[in-house]
Structure 1
Amino acid sequence: MGILKELQNRILIADGAMGTLLYSFGVDYCFEELNLLQPDRITKIHEAYIEAGAEVIQTNTYGANYLKLARYGLEDQVKDINAAAIKIAKKAANGKAYVLGTLGGIRSIKKSAATIEEIKRSFREQLYTFLLEGVDGLLLETFYDLDELKTVLQIARKETELPIIAQVSIHEVAVLQDGTPLADALKQLEDLGADVVGLNCRLGPHHITKALEEVPLPERAFLSAYPNASLPDYIDGRLIYESDAEYFGECAVNLRNQGVRLIGGCCGTTPRHIKAVREKIQGLAPITYKEVKVKQTEPTVTVLSKRNKPHLHEIVAKERSVIVELDTPKTLNTTSFLEGAKALKEAGIDALTMADNSLASPRICNMAMAAIVKNELGIRPLVHITCRDRNLIGLQSHLMGLDALGIDQVLAVTGDPTKIGDFPGATSVYDLSSFELISLIKQLNEGITFSGKPLQKKTSFSVAAAFNPNVRHLDKAIKRLEKKIKHGADYFISQPIFDEKKFLEVYEHTKHLSKPIYIGIMPIVSSQNAEFLHNEVPGIKLTDEIREKMARCGSDREKAKMEGIAIAKSLIDAAFDLFNGIYLITPFMRYDMTVKLVQYIHQKCANRVQERKITN
């Protein structure tokens, strides 16, 4: 008869998780490879679900695409693994159940996991195997990224008339991670040709039911739901789902009451759960009418009224601006730091920038010091945020905290690897790339959390991005800047430059950009410092002339200091007419050096004003 014909008149029961059972058996490697290595084990799982009451089963191919199989060195076996999975499922079904070819989402919250073009190529390879081997329909499941799902759905709809089930995964009830309401997302999927639209994974049956309360019955398609068994617990290094099968079956009735006609299970579900669904659903007719529950939410408001001065990117786009980096202390003695901050404020800086545990060494939290200099000294802080030390939870919490403190200037960076710091064995998180972090900060500016939930306020962050001009191929570095602009960067802060000729080269390569740049300059304190920077710090090279000048200072610290300041002044002169923004990096808490450079910049500005008056 066909899946769609049957769904017109009754509710179909699908299977549950494949990975959960394999995981419980001690399998902790590529589940999809078992289609080739242990086909009997996969067959028995399919048969167990059919015996439990599943009328629709899915192939063991969720991660059987080029990109995911490449993690195991199996990228050349895409066709073999998928073809074997289809044969196994069809044999197990033996005419007693429909077989869906499963294609899983690749991106989660990280768009950098794969480009759309990579996803298209990977998806097509898997899709064509399904079409060649013959399945009863396609199941597109666990898609957190709506754009990814819409892309692959359009490809599939163009290639086949087979039934297509398209399912999104959400972090928050009734909203996708980009803020799209669930009802709108499912309508878009229906309009693109999906025959069944719904949800799977991430949430248990209670929250998926709550999410569907806001979803009307589709005009043409049907609704599906494959909830997780429950929220997972973490015990002895393993994720454990402890949901009662009876409860899961009772929840299936609630799903039916929301209009769901295809009910299965995802993570944590077993044949026991599916058997419970069958027992509770058997004999119930699908509903043909439902009243949609519209959730009332508080209106989103802006926080622009909190700002009493322009953002840094607005300032530097129009006039001269100087910001200074001063690292927070490695000890709890904050005296020198606060003295330096005060001296720099008196010198006339526009902002004090504070790195986020630079060189992967722990320092006093820059959020804490930013709050102190803002509230006690009246200095605008610019806080660096790395992807290294915090996962998604920590990053969002950190940013919300900054907003609560009234700190709205941030620099999004990847962060130095832990291997170079005080704790080389520490774990680097890197849930996000700097590109993704920029995008998500801008999402907070729209009043939407990382998971898509309304913030009930909009943040007002000005987001800087890092720029390393000290590379062999500057064109490639500029491409990265262009990409960061697309992700939402408001301006750039560069690594220090130690070659006067380099400023003009950078200017010529970046003058087409729509966003301003603070160009980095750092005074050198000694010949040893110069040699370390030149030979050991990635991305920094000094000219032979500068190294020779510092070498001539020998061990005379005062002479080296004065030479370092003179070199920095010369670099400022070279950059002055090319860039409005100057970013001074304070070496080793030697803020007296950066104070002199700030004063030098302001004096140059005053001299230029005087020259114009004389000329006019």
Structure 2
Amino acid sequence: MGLIERLKNEILIADGAMGTLLYSYGIDFGYEELNVTNPSIIERIHRDYLEAGADIIQTNTYSANAIKLARYGLENDVKKINNAAVSIAKKSISSSEQYVIGTLGGIRGIRKNSASMDEISAAFTKQLDILLEGNLDGFLLETYYDFEELTNVLKIARSMTDLPIIAQVSMHEPGFLQNGLPLNSALEQLEILGADVIGVNCHLGPYHTCQAFDQVTLPKKAFLSAYPNASLLDVVDERIVYKSTADYFGKLAVELRNQGVRLIGGCCGTTPDHIAAVKKALKGLLPITEKEVEHPRESILIEDHAPTPPSLVEKVKKQRSVIVELDTTKHLETTTFFKGAKSLQEAGIDALTMADNSLASPRISNMAMATLLQTNHNIRPLVHITCRDRNIIGLQSHLMGLHALGIHDILAITGDPSKIGDFPGATSVYDVSSTELLQLIKQLNEGISFSGKPLKTKTNFTVAAAFNPNVRLLDRAVKRLERKIKAGADYFISQPVFSIEKIEEMYEATKHLSTPIYIGILPLTSSRNAEFLHNEVPGIQLSEEILMRMKAWEHDKVQAEREGIKIAKELIDVAARKFNGIYLITPFLRYHLTTELVTYIHDLDATITKGDANDVQSISH
């Protein structure tokens, strides 16, 4: 009898973790390679689970796809590793009432950009095609945090086979996927797409897994499954451990049965002892056929009605907008910083923007200074956030804090690597890319946390992204802009530009975009400053003409500074007729330079004739 036929009248027991046992044996490398190099240890684990009472075991193929095997240089061994896994598993069973299912694991986690959907589809199709040759009893799609990925591969699997398919999502928070979709809605979609068994696995222990099923209705045709972790994980003496006892796991298995689950196994931290406890706890129990779900009241999404001025995007789409970067200090003397901010405000800037530890050197928190600027001086702050210094937890916490403080203008950037800064041995985090951070911030704007949990109110961030035009192939840089627009970028702020030709090239390359761009202008202060920027700072290039003009005043600091201002004004003359947004970068807290340039821009606007203004793309740029 097939496993689906048995699930109609029975509760079936699946196996537990493979990696946990291998890890306990001191093995901490690619587990799937063991199918070829040490098949006896894999067979031993399969037999241990079967002897513990498992009706179903899964092949040791969770990560046996080309993408994940490439981490170990094994991408060309997909067929060999999967074939070996099937052979070992089938050799382990001793009864027609024991089943072998082929496992295909998720690839994406919180990071969507870890692999494209085309790459995932190709890797999945190749692995499934190989597993289909093994005459298995079904397939398990497990540990899918990204629902788009799971629905995509489920469609592929259903088109390739009529064998039973178990499709399982993974959650960061009980009851919600990381995109905010309620678990019940996700499972209903999986059933519609043809999954025979639908459920959850990994990350959550048995308690929170039971909690997640509180709001899950019984499927119309499919059956429910659950493979919880043994517990929340802990780290003891630098080793991962799980606290849950087997008896506790068995007790909670009964709770899962009461929620309507008919296929129960284990994920991380579970062992044959846990499966034996499940078998013992469920002995004699039949699956439930009716379940009443008391749906909670819809979570009230509290709108934030705090008054906010018109966004920078709204202004720059219609008229001139000037923002100025004034970096916070590397020391605790802040008088000059606030004096400069006040001077720039009086000159007529729209926002003061502050980097997030630029060049990987620690400065006073831009979040703290932004709060003081906004509260004490009524200056609009635009805060940079890098992916370098905070993990995914810190990023969400930081953003929630900014929202609570009423700071809503953000530039999301990757951030300079730590090794170029004051502490070259410090760790660069980079849990996400700047493009992924854009997507996550927009998710907060929908009232959904990074983990998918409701925030109970929506943030209202306006998010800028960086644009580096100082590259050999500008069209590729523009393609990156288009990807960032798709991810949610509201406008762009460019790296400083030092060439009139580059500004004109940028205009031609981006005039098809409706997303505004602020053109970066950085006044040079000396010949040494120009040489440093050109030769050592990533993303900045100066023309030979600019370098020579600054070198002419190599021994005259005053005239060198005036030449730097003159060059900046020449660039502004062109940029102001092509783009509405101007972004001035203040060098070394010399705010008198950018104050002069702000005044120059406003005076220039007053002299631009109506005919000249026709050149300005007031909507596009």
TM-score class normalised by the smaller sequence = over 0.9
The equivalent residue for 1:60 is 60
The equivalent residue for 1:246 is 247
The equivalent residue for 1:12 is 12
CA distance in 1, matches of 2:540, 2:383: 23
CA distance in 1, matches of 2:223, 2:213: 13
CA distance in 2, matches of 1:210, 1:42: 33
Summarize the alignment of residues 437-516 of structure 1 with structure 2, pairs less than 5 Å apart: 437-516=437-516
CA distance in 2, matches of 1:253, 1:298: 29
- String of CA shifts for 1:506-532, please: whole Å, max 9, x gaps: 001101112000000000000001111
Aligned-partner SS, 1:138 = strand
1:80 aligns with 2:74: no
Percent of paired sites with the same residue: 64
Q: How big is the shift at 1:134?
A: 1.8
The equivalent residue for 1:117 is 118
Aligned-partner SS, 1:133 = coil
Aligned-partner SS, 1:577 = helix
Aligned-partner SS, 2:88 = helix
The equivalent residue for 1:257 is 258
1:323 aligns with 2:323: yes
Q: Could you tell me which amino acid in structure 2 is paired with residue 55 of structure 1? A: D
The equivalent residue for 1:277 is 278
Q: How big is the shift at 1:302?
A: 2.4
Q: How big is the shift at 1:314?
A: 1.1
* Paired residue total: 612
Q: How big is the shift at 1:235?
A: 1.4
The equivalent residue for 1:287 is 288
CA distance in 2, matches of 1:29, 1:555: 60
Aligned-partner SS, 1:265 = coil
- String of CA shifts for 1:342-401, please: whole Å, max 9, x gaps: 111111100000001100111111100100111111100000000111111000000000
CA distance in 1, matches of 2:611, 2:111: 52
Relative to 1, partners in 2 of residues 1:7 and 1:610: Cα closer, same or farther, differing over 3 Å? closer
Summarize the alignment of residues 162-311 of structure 1 with structure 2, pairs less than 5 Å apart: 162-303=163-304, 305-311=305-311
1:527 aligns with 2:527: yes
Q: Could you tell me which amino acid in structure 2 is paired with residue 578 of structure 1? A: K
- String of CA shifts for 1:509-562, please: whole Å, max 9, x gaps: 101112000000000000001111111122221111111111010221111111
CA distance in 1, matches of 2:492, 2:511: 13
The equivalent residue for 2:143 is 142
The equivalent residue for 1:557 is 557
Q: Could you tell me which amino acid in structure 1 is paired with residue 366 of structure 2? A: N
The equivalent residue for 2:546 is 546
Q: Could you tell me which amino acid in structure 2 is paired with residue 314 of structure 1? A: E
CA distance in 2, matches of 1:323, 1:135: 63
Q: How big is the shift at 1:583?
A: 0.1
The equivalent residue for 1:567 is 567
CA distance in 2, matches of 1:377, 1:612: 36
Aligned-partner SS, 1:306 = coil
Q: Which runs of 5+ in 2 are unaligned?
A: 614-621
CA distance in 1, matches of 2:611, 2:342: 31
- String of CA shifts for 1:439-479, please: whole Å, max 9, x gaps: 11000001000011111101100000000001000000000
Q: Could you tell me which amino acid in structure 1 is paired with residue 98 of structure 2? A: A
Aligned-partner SS, 1:588 = helix
Relative to 1, partners in 2 of residues 1:83 and 1:506: Cα closer, same or farther, differing over 3 Å? same
- String of CA shifts for 1:148-181, please: whole Å, max 9, x gaps: 0000000000000110000000011111110111
CA distance in 2, matches of 1:10, 1:282: 11
The equivalent residue for 1:41 is 41
Aligned-partner SS, 1:262 = strand
- String of CA shifts for 1:556-584, please: whole Å, max 9, x gaps: 11111111101100110011110000000
CA distance in 2, matches of 1:534, 1:249: 65
Aligned-partner SS, 1:9 = coil
Contact 2:549 2:563 (8 Å CA) reproduced: yes
- String of CA shifts for 1:219-274, please: whole Å, max 9, x gaps: 00000000000011111222210111100000000000000000000000000000
CA distance in 2, matches of 1:478, 1:441: 22
Aligned-partner SS, 1:582 = strand
CA distance in 1, matches of 2:34, 2:288: 39
The equivalent residue for 1:589 is 589
CA distance in 1, matches of 2:98, 2:509: 61
Q: How big is the shift at 1:611?
A: 9.5
- String of CA shifts for 1:577-609, please: whole Å, max 9, x gaps: 100000001111111100100010011112237
Over 6 Å off, 4+ runs: 609-613
CA distance in 1, matches of 2:4, 2:493: 56
Q: Could you tell me which amino acid in structure 2 is paired with residue 228 of structure 1? A: N
Q: TM-score when scaled to structure 1?
A: 0.98
Aligned-partner SS, 1:109 = coil
Contact 2:101 2:139 (8 Å CA) reproduced: yes
Relative to 1, partners in 2 of residues 1:611 and 1:158: Cα closer, same or farther, differing over 3 Å? closer
Relative to 1, partners in 2 of residues 1:66 and 1:259: Cα closer, same or farther, differing over 3 Å? same
CA distance in 2, matches of 1:320, 1:229: 59
The equivalent residue for 1:89 is 89
CA distance in 2, matches of 1:47, 1:461: 54
Aligned-partner SS, 1:309 = coil
Q: Which runs of 5+ in 1 are unaligned?
A: none
Q: How big is the shift at 1:612?
A: 9.4
Q: TM-score when scaled to structure 2?
A: 0.97
Q: How big is the shift at 1:97?
A: 1.7
- String of CA shifts for 1:386-417, please: whole Å, max 9, x gaps: 01111110000000000000000000001101
CA distance in 1, matches of 2:307, 2:524: 36
Aligned-partner SS, 2:588 = coil
Summarize the alignment of residues 369-448 of structure 1 with structure 2, pairs less than 5 Å apart: 369-448=369-448
CA distance in 2, matches of 1:595, 1:417: 31
CA distance in 1, matches of 2:399, 2:501: 38
Q: Could you tell me which amino acid in structure 1 is paired with residue 474 of structure 2? A: L
CA distance in 2, matches of 1:398, 1:540: 29
Contact 2:577 2:612 (8 Å CA) reproduced: no
